[in-house]
Structure 1
C-alpha cells in the first residue's frame, strides 16, 4: 500500500546477552532472559490495525452482501480512489487479507470487494482504506462480520430478521426505519454499543422488495435505504429481492443491480433477479415477482416459465441435499388480506412449488413477501408452510379505519391467522438437528413513541407426530337442513390449534370434497372490525380484533356457516387462481385443478346423504390422522332428468331448439372413431358430415323446462337445482359452453348467485361439469343451452353427452 497510510509496525528486536570470561555460570544452566527469542520458538508477529487521521468520504457506508461459509462481500460508494478492504479474524493481531475493491457501477462510484478463503463460523474485523483527492490515505473504524457455518461447526441455531417495504413514500415516516434499526435491531437483537454483537447474533436481514421508493432515483438508494440502515449494514448482510418500486424509472433494474450483489446462481441472463443461498440446512430462495404479476407488475409469460423452471430445479437440488427448511422470498403476495389488488397468480405458482417440496420431503417451507403494508401471518392447509407478509418497515401502513379501503381491498382469508396493519419487523429462529424447528416472532414498532418492539405474535413450525385423533359427538343420522351441527372431541383438547372438516357426497371422500378450515375453525383469528370501530392510527398502527374469542372450535354449525360464506374444495385455493381485479388475472394457471372453471360450492341438498370427517392440528402445525367417516342425511326427493333427449340417443336434435348455426347428434363414425361418453350418440357443432352453415362461428341449441309446479317450494327456498353435462373437445381449440337461464312466470330472466356457465378444455376425454344451487324465489322455468364457438378448422369440436337437469326438494 502507498505511503500515505501511517501503519504502526511493531519492531520485534532481540537482545543478545553476552557472557563475560570470568563468569563461572555454565551457559547450559543459565535461564533465558525475559523477552529473549528462543531458537525454534519465535515470538508471534503483531500486525497493528491500519490507521489514518480521517475516515474515507463515503456516499454509502460499507454494507455486506452474498454471505457464505468461506466468503463475504463488502460494498460501498465513494469518490475516493484506490479502495481496499483489509480483513482478519476479529480481535487478532494476524496478518490482513487485503482485497482491492472493484468498480461495480458505470460511474465508478460503487465498489465491491469479495473476500474468499475465509474460515467458517468465524467473526472477522475489516477496514476500508481509500485515498482522497489529495492523495491522503483514509481508513475506517473497525467493522465486523461473521461467516456462516458449515456442517462441521455444529451450529445449532441461527436468527434472521425479515422486513419489507423499506421505501420512504411519506416524509412523516422517515423516522420509522431509523427506529427499527436503532431501537429494534441494535437494542433488542444485539448491543448497539458493541456492534460486532450484531454480526454474532443476526445471520442476515431479508428485505422482500420495495427496497426504495423509486428504483431509478439514486438519492433514494443512498438516503432512504443505506442512509437509514447505516448503523447495522456494516455488520449484518442484506438479502433482498426487487419490488415494483425498485423497477420504477429503472426498468432494467440498473440501480438495483448496481447496489445489490446476490450469488450468481440464477437462470442465465437473470442472475440478479433470482438466486438461492444456503445456511446449513436452510435454503433461502430469492425470486422476482414483478415480471410475473399483472397489477403493479409487468407480466411476461416467458419470464414466468423460465423462473418457474429454475425454481423447480433449485428445489430438486435442495431435496438432493436434504434441506430441512426452504424459504422463498418475493414481493407480490399470492394472497394478501389487507390489500387484495397486491396479489399475483404468478406468485401463487411459486408458493405451490414450495408447498410441493414440503409434500415430498416433510420439510418446513415458507415464503416472505411484502407489497401490502401490513403484517400478516398464516399457514398452508395441507403442508407445514409459513406465509409471512414481512411489511412494513417504512412504507405507509394500510388504512383499516377507511371504509372504502375495507369495502374494496380486504379479505379475511382462511390461510391467514393474524393480520395487523402496523410497523415492525419479524425474527425467525431456525434450529437445526434432530429437533429441527423454526420460530417466528413479530415485534411491533417503528414510529416515534412506539419503539418498545413488543412481541405481538409468535408461532413455531416443528415436525412431530400428532396422535390426537378426533371422534364424533354430533352430526350423524337424519338432520334438518336448518340445524346441521358437527362436533368432535379429542383426548388432549388443549393441544389443538385448529380443526379441519371435510364434507363429501362420496363415502370414500373421492371426487368433490369440500374443505371447512381456517377463520372459524382455529383458536384465534386476528382481523379487523368494520372501519368505524377500528382503533389506532397511521402512526402507532390499527388495532385488530380476535374474531374467534371464546369460540368452540370442536363444534361446527354448518348451516349457519353456509349462510355466511361460500365453501369450496381446497379452501382458499380458489382465490389463488381467481383474483378480485381483472388486471390480476393474467392467465389460467396450470396449477388450478379446475382450469379456470367455477368450483363447486357446498349446498345442503334435500334428499342427500353427506359424509364427513375431521382432523386436528397442534400448535406446531402438525396434523393428526383423519377421523373415521361419519354421515348425516337430509330428507327430500330428487326428480328424474327433466330434459328430454339429454343423451342424444334419439339420434337427432329432438326436444332441443336450434338457436345458432348447427348442432347435430353424431357417432364415432362421424368423428374419427371418437365415441360417446355413454351409448352411441353425442351432440357436436357444425361439420362432421352434417353441414356447414354460412354464418360464423357459434353453434347452439336450447331446451326450456317448465318447473312452475314446484313454485311454492321454490319461493320458500327449498328447491335445489342440479344441472350437469359431460363435455370435451378434439384439441381444446374450440370452446364448448354449458349455460343456464332462470325465467320468471313472464318469461323474464332472473339473477342467480351461481355462475351460469361452464366450459371445458378437455381433449378427447369426457369430463363432467355441473351448475347447481338453491333456486331464488320467482323461478318458473329453466333454459338449458349447449353449444360453443369454432376457433379453428372446419368442424366445431364442441361435444356434449348426458346433459341432465334435476330438482331436489
Structure 2
C-alpha cells in the first residue's frame, strides 16, 4: 500500500537501526543463523526446507517419521545479499503422502531444534479429511506499532489454534498464504530476516508458506531468492504466477504489479482455469492477488487489471459449477463480498500489521458487492471439508481489532459455500403499493423459503422490464442483508421482500420479477413476472 512521508522517514530510520544492529551483532567466529528454517512448495511426496546463515556452506537436513529422524538429505547454498549471506536449500523427496515428519537442519556448528511438518494428501489414493488454510496480508512494519506482526502471529494465529509442544501448528493448518506486502521496503535486505522471517518463524517452521508479491516488494530479487514457488507458470516469469493443489483445493498466485499486468499472465490463467474445470479432484479455487479491483476503504488503490481476473474466475465457476474466491490485500482493512451472478467471493484479508486504513481517511465508496468492511487487524482461516458427497468451505475472519477497539481473536465474519448447492424456493410477486403517479412505488414479494436447513434470506435481486421476457431491462437493484459501511449495517431495516422504486420507468407496460439468495451464495429461480 501507500506510505506517507512521515512513515517513510520512520521506516527508513528503523531500517538503518536494524542494519547497524545486524552488522554489529554478527560474530567474528562461527556462523550466525539469520533466518530460521522455513518450509516451501510441499507436495504429497516432497517438500523444500530453507534457512539462512551468515557463513558456512553445509546444508544438511535430518528427518524421519519420528523424532529419532534417521534419514539425511544434502542441499546447496545461494547468496541472498552480501558475500557472507548463505541461503540453504534442501529438497526432501520420496516422502509418503499425508504423513507427519520430524526434521532439523545443520550448518557447521549450528543444529536447529526438531520441527515437524505434514505432507499433503494424494487425492487419488488417500482418504481426504477436513483441513485449514491461514491467509493474511500486508505484514510490513508500521513504525508506530513495530511489534504488530509478532502479536498477530503469537497472540493471534498460534493462540487461535492452541498450539504447543503436543499440538504443533502442522496438526491444525495445511498451508499459509500471504497476499503481498510482506515487508515495507523490499529492496532493503535487512527487512526480510528481521521484519518478516523473525516474527513468522513459529509458523513457517511447521507449515509451508505461499506468498505473492505486492507493491512494497518493489519487484526485489530478495523475494524471488527467498521463495521457491511452484514452477508451473510461464518460464520467462518464474515465480510471478503459479498454482499448487492441496486435497480438493487449487490455490493460484498472481503478480498484479505494474510490469506484470500483461496478457501473458491472463492467457496462462485462462488455460489453468480451463484445465481445472475438468479436473475431477478439484472442487474449489482460491486465487491470491495483491491489488483489488474494488475496495471500499481506499479508492486510489483499485486496479482495473484485477477485473479481468475476476471475470475469468466468474466464468470458470459458471462453466464448472465449482465455487471460487479471490483473496487480496493492499488496502489495510478487512472486506468480504461476492459477485452478484456467480458463487465467487471477494475477500480483502488485510491487515496483519500494516497501519489500518480508517473510515474517513481517504476517498471511499459503498459498493454493492461488499457485505462487510471493517478497519481492523487480523487474519482469515478457510476450513475446507472435502467430503465427496458435498464438499464445502467456511471462510472465517479472526479479528484483532484496531488501536481504538482491540479484539482478541474474535470471529467477526464467516460464510460457508457448498460445492453442490440447494437453491432457495422460487419466490412469488405480491403486487405493488402506490400507483407511480408521484414517481414512486413499492414492489412486493413473498417470504423466503429453502429446503436447506439453516438457510436464511441474504439477498434480493429485483428487475423491471418493458416486456415479460425481460430482454429490455429498465431498472434493477441488488440488495444484501448485510452492508457494513462506516461501522453501521446500512441494510439493518430491510427485510428484502419489498423494494422502493424512486423513479418508475415511464413506459406504457411494465413487468417486475425477483429472485432470492441465501447466505451460501445460492440463487433461487426468478419469480414469474407480474405486470403493473
Q: Is the shorter-chain TM-score for this pair beyond 0.5, marking a shared fold? A: yes
Looking at structure 2, the residues matched to 447 and 193 of structure 1 have their Cα atoms a distance apart, in angstroms, of: 30
SS of the residue 1:428 aligns to: strand
Looking at structure 1, the residues matched to 144 and 41 of structure 2 have their Cα atoms a distance apart, in angstroms, of: 33
Name the structure 2 match of 1:37: none
User: How far off is 1:503 after superposition?
Assistant: 2.1
Looking at structure 2, the residues matched to 245 and 94 of structure 1 have their Cα atoms a distance apart, in angstroms, of: 40
Q: In the alignment, is residue 390 of structure 1 matched against residue 349 of structure 2?
A: yes
Q: In the alignment, is residue 122 of structure 1 matched against residue 99 of structure 2?
A: yes
Pair 126,94 (structure 1): closer, same or farther in 2 beyond 3 Å: closer
Name the structure 2 match of 1:799: none
User: How far off is 1:308 after superposition?
Assistant: 0.3
Pair 605,458 (structure 1): closer, same or farther in 2 beyond 3 Å: closer
Which residues of structure 1 form unaligned runs of 5+? Answer: 1-53, 132-136, 292-297, 529-543, 560-602, 633-809
User: Over residues 325-354 of structure 1, what are the superposed CA-to-partner deviations in whole Å (9 max), with x where a residue is unaligned?
Assistant: 011111000111111111111111011101
User: Over residues 747-781 of structure 1, what are the superposed CA-to-partner deviations in whole Å (9 max), with x where a residue is unaligned?
Assistant: xxxxxxxxxxxxxxxxxxxxxxxxxxxxxxxxxxx
Looking at structure 2, the residues matched to 76 and 515 of structure 1 have their Cα atoms a distance apart, in angstroms, of: 56
Mapping of 1:410-425 within 5 angstroms? 410-425=364-379
User: How far off is 1:186 after superposition?
Assistant: 1.1
Q: In the alignment, is residue 187 of structure 1 matched against residue 173 of structure 2?
A: no
CA contact (8 A) 1:205 1:237 kept: yes
Q: In the alignment, is residue 470 of structure 1 matched against residue 470 of structure 2?
A: no
What RMSD over aligned residues (CA atoms) do the two structures have, in Å? 2.2
User: How far off is 1:511 after superposition?
Assistant: 4.2
CA contact (8 A) 1:85 1:126 kept: no
CA contact (8 A) 1:477 1:631 kept: no
Q: In the alignment, is residue 452 of structure 1 matched against residue 395 of structure 2?
A: no
Pair 611,481 (structure 1): closer, same or farther in 2 beyond 3 Å: farther
Looking at structure 1, the residues matched to 159 and 60 of structure 2 have their Cα atoms a distance apart, in angstroms, of: 28
Name the structure 1 match of 2:39: 64
Looking at structure 1, the residues matched to 474 and 334 of structure 2 have their Cα atoms a distance apart, in angstroms, of: 32
User: Over residues 699-721 of structure 1, what are the superposed CA-to-partner deviations in whole Å (9 max), with x where a residue is unaligned?
Assistant: xxxxxxxxxxxxxxxxxxxxxxx
Name the structure 1 match of 2:136: 163
| 1:275 counterpart (221, 238, 242) | 242
Q: In the alignment, is residue 628 of structure 1 matched against residue 528 of structure 2?
A: yes
CA contact (8 A) 1:393 1:446 kept: no
Looking at structure 1, the residues matched to 62 and 501 of structure 2 have their Cα atoms a distance apart, in angstroms, of: 65
SS of the residue 1:83 aligns to: coil
Pair 481,64 (structure 1): closer, same or farther in 2 beyond 3 Å: farther
Pair 401,103 (structure 1): closer, same or farther in 2 beyond 3 Å: same
Mapping of 1:200-219 within 5 angstroms? 200-219=171-190
User: How far off is 1:306 after superposition?
Assistant: 0.3
Looking at structure 2, the residues matched to 87 and 610 of structure 1 have their Cα atoms a distance apart, in angstroms, of: 75
Q: In the alignment, is residue 287 of structure 1 matched against residue 258 of structure 2?
A: no
User: How far off is 1:57 after superposition?
Assistant: 2.4
Higher RCO structure (Cα 8 Å, ≥6 apart):
2
Which residues of structure 2 form unaligned runs of 5+? Answer: 1-28
Name the structure 2 match of 1:795: none
User: Over residues 12-38 of structure 1, what are the superposed CA-to-partner deviations in whole Å (9 max), with x where a residue is unaligned?
Assistant: xxxxxxxxxxxxxxxxxxxxxxxxxxx
SS of the residue 2:318 aligns to: helix
User: How far off is 1:191 after superposition?
Assistant: 1.1
Looking at structure 2, the residues matched to 182 and 478 of structure 1 have their Cα atoms a distance apart, in angstroms, of: 61
| 2:396 counterpart (436, 441, 464) | 441
User: How far off is 1:506 after superposition?
Assistant: 3.2
User: How far off is 1:465 after superposition?
Assistant: 1.8
Looking at structure 1, the residues matched to 473 and 226 of structure 2 have their Cα atoms a distance apart, in angstroms, of: 51
Looking at structure 1, the residues matched to 104 and 424 of structure 2 have their Cα atoms a distance apart, in angstroms, of: 56
Name the structure 1 match of 2:495: 552
| 1:256 counterpart (210, 219, 223) | 223
User: Over residues 674-718 of structure 1, what are the superposed CA-to-partner deviations in whole Å (9 max), with x where a residue is unaligned?
Assistant: xxxxxxxxxxxxxxxxxxxxxxxxxxxxxxxxxxxxxxxxxxxxx
> Given the two structures, how large is their TM-score scaled by the length of structure 2?
0.88
CA contact (8 A) 1:55 1:139 kept: no
| 2:322 counterpart (363, 366, 369) | 363
User: Over residues 583-631 of structure 1, what are the superposed CA-to-partner deviations in whole Å (9 max), with x where a residue is unaligned?
Assistant: xxxxxxxxxxxxxxxxxxxx53434422221111112111111111122
Name the structure 2 match of 1:461: 417
User: Over residues 26-68 of structure 1, what are the superposed CA-to-partner deviations in whole Å (9 max), with x where a residue is unaligned?
Assistant: xxxxxxxxxxxxxxxxxxxxxxxxxxxx996211111111111
User: How far off is 1:417 after superposition?
Assistant: 0.2
Which range moves more in the overlay, 477-486 or 314-323?
477-486
Mapping of 1:771-786 within 5 angstroms? none
CA contact (8 A) 2:336 2:370 kept: yes
SS of the residue 1:358 aligns to: helix
Name the structure 1 match of 2:89: 112
> Given the two structures, how large is their TM-score scaled by the length of structure 1?
0.59
User: How far off is 1:451 after superposition?
Assistant: 5.4
Greater C-alpha Rg: 1
Q: In the alignment, is residue 495 of structure 1 matched against residue 470 of structure 2?
A: no
Pair 85,509 (structure 1): closer, same or farther in 2 beyond 3 Å: farther
User: Over residues 133-164 of structure 1, what are the superposed CA-to-partner deviations in whole Å (9 max), with x where a residue is unaligned?
Assistant: xxxx3211101111111122212211001110
SS of the residue 1:549 aligns to: coil
CA contact (8 A) 2:287 2:327 kept: yes
Name the structure 2 match of 1:700: none
CA contact (8 A) 2:434 2:441 kept: no
CA contact (8 A) 2:232 2:242 kept: yes
Pair 347,525 (structure 1): closer, same or farther in 2 beyond 3 Å: same
| 1:243 counterpart (211, 214, 222) | 214
SS of the residue 1:378 aligns to: strand
Looking at structure 1, the residues matched to 44 and 333 of structure 2 have their Cα atoms a distance apart, in angstroms, of: 34
| 2:146 counterpart (132, 156, 174) | 174
| 2:126 counterpart (153, 156, 168) | 153
Name the structure 2 match of 1:101: 76
Q: In the alignment, is residue 229 of structure 1 matched against residue 200 of structure 2?
A: yes
| 2:113 counterpart (121, 141, 154) | 141
Looking at structure 2, the residues matched to 503 and 87 of structure 1 have their Cα atoms a distance apart, in angstroms, of: 68
SS of the residue 2:429 aligns to: strand
SS of the residue 1:359 aligns to: helix
SS of the residue 1:171 aligns to: coil
SS of the residue 2:319 aligns to: helix
User: Over residues 70-106 of structure 1, what are the superposed CA-to-partner deviations in whole Å (9 max), with x where a residue is unaligned?
Assistant: 1111111112313333243342535213222332636
SS of the residue 2:204 aligns to: coil
Looking at structure 2, the residues matched to 510 and 87 of structure 1 have their Cα atoms a distance apart, in angstroms, of: 67
SS of the residue 2:357 aligns to: coil
CA contact (8 A) 1:390 1:425 kept: yes
Q: In the alignment, is residue 610 of structure 1 matched against residue 510 of structure 2?
A: yes
CA contact (8 A) 1:56 1:129 kept: no
Name the structure 2 match of 1:652: none
